[in-house]
Structure 1
Amino acid sequence: MKNIIIGVGNLLFKDEGVGIYAAKYLEKNYDFDDSLEIIDGGTLGFKLMSYFQEYDNVIILDTVSIEDEAGSIFRLPSHVLLGLGNYRKTAHEVEIVEMLEICSVLDKHAQVTILGIIPEDIVSVEIGLTKKIEDKFEDYINTTLKEVESIGIKINKKDNKTIKDIAQGLIGSYNGEHLSRVPNEEDIRYANVL
């Protein structure tokens, strides 16, 4: 069986990046069976369609636009998601639902599950999560780990990196705190010499 976790969102708009942070957090802090791949799907939209066709299980980590309290976590199997007409509020939500609709008529497609968290702020242009979503982040990770275990994948904890560590490793900033140097600065300097 081929399984994949896809972190979706945009790191530039506060809580909109939670899916990407969660995917990177899992990648840095846990080891999984070889049958599980983790990727940063960012805002790839329809380019993610091939994963829906090539894998047996697809777990999407993302924000969800459902009327409820910020920080609430939802497990939405694809058949449930397709029934939520008011779910489509952001560009990538529209694309995910449209991909699911297309895949539902194909002979072979993955079992797709969205693990979504309701954001507090996806409008502010700032790298980092709001305090409310930070406080729920561990619950979100634990929900994801339970989902991964439910499809038969073994998990080993290997590190204790924080969301801040993850974000600063990716972009060099988190909620206004900046690293003293750009991540991979040595690689950039080396590339400019060549």
Structure 2
Amino acid sequence: MEKIALLGVGNILFWDEGVGVYAARFLEANYAFAPTIDIVDGGTLGMGLLEYLASYDRVIILDTITQETMAGTCYVVPAHALLALPTIKSTAHEVEVVQMLQASMLLEDTAQVTIVGIVPMDICRTEFGLSQPLREAFAHYIDTALEVLATYGITATPRTHTTSLDAIIERAWKGQNF
């Protein structure tokens, strides 16, 4: 059986930049997965996430992606295609993710990586939460991540008790786990 990890990355201190972290926490709080997957709040670990690429068969990264499209637009991009995008490396965080992916190519055995990205409205504003366009697109972003998991044979079953996006955001900035 394949080992699959879902990594939510980003910085929750910078508004939309935290969407990957919020999405990972939302999925963990609201769904049970079969077979089991590991859901990781990767925050801003950058190269520290390289160990996940070395120890899993497949890794799905939830993150923002800089593109010249409307905020809230979702993309599913294999790592090799992400590295070829001309608009990538626009922020320090994106540089870290790109460097991690480039470094993983030096490993003898590395995970197949897929990025589920969403275009942010603002990743510079110092504020917890998400902009209105990302709030409106959040359900679609979650559905996109679930669709990617389904292509890997992962079934997501909604939990009986759900946790709202607002509760996820509040717990994240308070440093609370689930």
TM-score when scaled to structure 2? 0.93
Pair 1:103-2:93 in alignment? no
Pair 1:134-2:135 in alignment? yes
Instruction: List alignment gaps of at least 5 residues for structure 1.
Output: 173-181, 185-194
Amino acid at match of 2:151: S
Aligned residue in 2 for 1:167: 169
Aligned residue in 2 for 1:115: 116
Aligned residue in 1 for 2:64: 63
Distance 1:47 1:31 in 2: 26
Aligned residue in 2 for 1:46: 47
TM-score when scaled to structure 1? 0.85
- Residue by residue over 1:20-64, the C-alpha shift from the partner in whole angstroms, topping out at 9 and shown as x without a partner, is 000000000000125410010000000000111110110000001
Query: How many aligned residue pairs are there?
Result: 175
1:1-194 to structure 2, matched below 5 A, reads: 1-158=2-159, 159-172=161-174
User: Over the residues paired in the alignment, what is the CA RMSD in angstroms?
Assistant: 1.6
Amino acid at match of 2:171: G
Distance 1:130 1:35 in 2: 32
Q: Percent identity?
A: 44
Distance 1:34 1:152 in 2: 8
Distance 2:47 2:107 in 1: 16
Amino acid at match of 1:14: W
Larger Cα Rg: Structure 1 or Structure 2? Answer: 1
Distance 1:55 1:35 in 2: 13
- Residue by residue over 1:135-184, the C-alpha shift from the partner in whole angstroms, topping out at 9 and shown as x without a partner, is 00000000000001110112110032211011112224xxxxxxxxx969
Instruction: List alignment gaps of at least 5 residues for structure 2.
Output: none
